Chain A
Amino acid sequence: MSTALEISALSKSFAGVQAIRDLSFTVPKGVSTALIGPNGAGKTTVFNMVSGVYGVDAGRITVNGVDVTRMPSRKRIGTGVARSFQNVRLMPHLSVLENLLVGQHVRASSLAALFTPYRLIPNHRWKREARAALEESGLGRWADETVSALPYGVRKRIDLVRATLAGASLLMLDEPAAGLNPSETNALRDHLKDLMAKGTTLLVVEHDMHFVDSICQNVVVLNFGEKIAEGPLSRVRQDPKVREAYIGSDGEA
């Protein structure tokens, strides 16, 4: 089985505080994985290093077989990795369709593409493609709305469509279910399952263990920047080290 993401011996410290210590784990293609652990365990830091927002102190990151450890952040999407943010980050003043068009950049970045007057061409293929992707996720009716006017749950899912349009085969989601009501959570879950069925691999940071259980086959547990357990959720939650890590925090696992 080939791997979507391989992290080996990764370390990172901020101002002398070791945020990630000698971390290694693998996300095989098609095996959606959850990254869990108490607050401050270093989950988001891992995302930031994989997406290139932070550099690494030591170790290696490989996405779909490509070593991205020293690659500039903007080039990494070309290897097939995209991420979401804890608070959805769409461009608020642009319409939904325009946000999706920005997502297509990685596949339309030539000078000729940049200066094609696509807005003057009725039904230009970029617009068609973006609309089709929205329709497919049942979000078609929002296409021309301004993002800032949309409900939170819809924005989260548009974020997913944008990542799909960017050609992401590995999608890192930072607390996707946070702040959603139950029906929005269900819609999101269906959307994610649909993406997985089409071959996308997920790496999810999430506190809601029911949600994790319903979409992830594998779980990696972090505590103080170190991996303390790995495996299916049912087994990991029996692990005494994991139980210990969560005592004194919210005891959710």
Chain B
Amino acid sequence: MSGYLTGVLVVLAFNVMAAYAVYLPLAAGQLNLGIAGFMAIGAYGSAFLTNEYMWPMWAAVPVGALAAGLTGLLIGLPVLRTHGIYFAMATFALGQVISAVFLNLEVVGGAAGYPVTDYAGPNVVFAAAAGVVLLMLYISRTRFALELTAVKSDPTVADLLGVPVRGMKVAAFALGAMVAGFGGALYAHHYNFVEAQHFNVLLSVFTVLYVLFGGTQTVWGPLVGAAFFTLVPELLRASDQWRYAVFAVFIIVFMAIRPQGLVTAALFRQFRRRAPEASS
């Protein structure tokens, strides 16, 4: 594999992990606009443990992910009292605060950035992304995923049927945060450098863009969305300075024509009609 192709695929792997981190709470109707903050917690956490305490990577990365998940849990409890646009704005603010905190933390280099010693090669990153995708596929086959959809679709009725609405939301949010932290930790070890400025609003917002573009009705949407957003700008490289403008026009027109995203549940049902025995 050429270095260029590997580089693009690594970016894809990181984007896929981030996309699923956004997807999980979104499946329950919660728009997380601060995913970059949770990635930063994973990245800095894992980097710090390997650098300063000589932890091995295989231990530091999960702990970084857990730290991000725990932050999601602690913040999720008060923040999830709010809903809709308020929740989105709270996560947005949270993402900004987290990356600003790291920008000011001198123990991890502050604004100058933080070099990371332990290196995770491309294959490790690919395996991690594949693991996240498999985990999501598994979750999508469970009652947990079904009830997340129920919570999104009609929280009042879900509550009366006994579904712990707030608990489901907090769980989805914290799990998503953990996935983000996991991706962030690997990011730190793959590029051997983290800087707070990388984990900014636009990273969060672009990740949301992948997910909505791919579609939130099925578990495949985020994967397709992330792949599209990573690969197409590369293909458009020929037109260089215009490529993001062209790309933006494409997003606008596409969302106007197909607001439900690229991959939808109805699309799957059509496939299933053609092969009826495959259905549940």
Contact = CB atoms under 8 A, between A and B. Distances in A.
B144 interface: yes
Interface string A125-139: 011000000000000
Interface in A62-92: 73-78, 82-83, 85, 89-92
B163 A102 contact: yes
B184 to A, nearest CB: 25
Interface in B226-280: 265-266, 269, 279-280
Interface stretch (B35-43, B121-129, B145-153, B205-213): B145-153
B81 interface: no
Nearest to B150: A102
Nearest to A162: B161
A114 B163 contact: no
B144 A114 contact: yes
A91 B165 CA distance: 15
B150 A91 contact: yes
A109 B162 contact: yes
B160 A93 contact: no
Contacts of A113: 143
Contacts of A166: 161-162
A25 interface: no
B149 A94 contact: yes
A117 B162 contact: no
A106 interface: yes
A14 interface: no
Contacts, number: 95
A90 B156 CA distance: 11
Given A74-B165, A94-B153, A144-B279, A114 B142 contact: yes
Contacts of A126: 143
Contacts of A98: 146, 149
Contacts of A83: 160
A106 B161 CA distance: 7
Which among A82, A106, A119, A126 has the greatest number of chain B C-beta atoms within 10 A? Answer: A119
B54 interface: no
A53 interface: yes
Contacts of B161: 74, 77, 82, 102-103, 105-106, 162, 166
Contacts of A74: 159-165
Interface in A164-219: 166
Contacts of B149: 91, 93-94, 98
B142 to A, nearest CB: 5
B164 A116 contact: no
A85 B141 CA distance: 29
A11 interface: no
Contact of B143 (A75, A92, A116): A116
B70 interface: no
Pairs of residues from A and B, 5 with the lowest C-beta to C-beta distance, nearest first: A91-B153, A117-B141, A106-B162, A119-B141, A77-B162
9 contacts: A74-B163, A76-B160, A93-B153, A93-B265, A101-B146, A105-B161, A115-B142, A146-B269, A162-B161
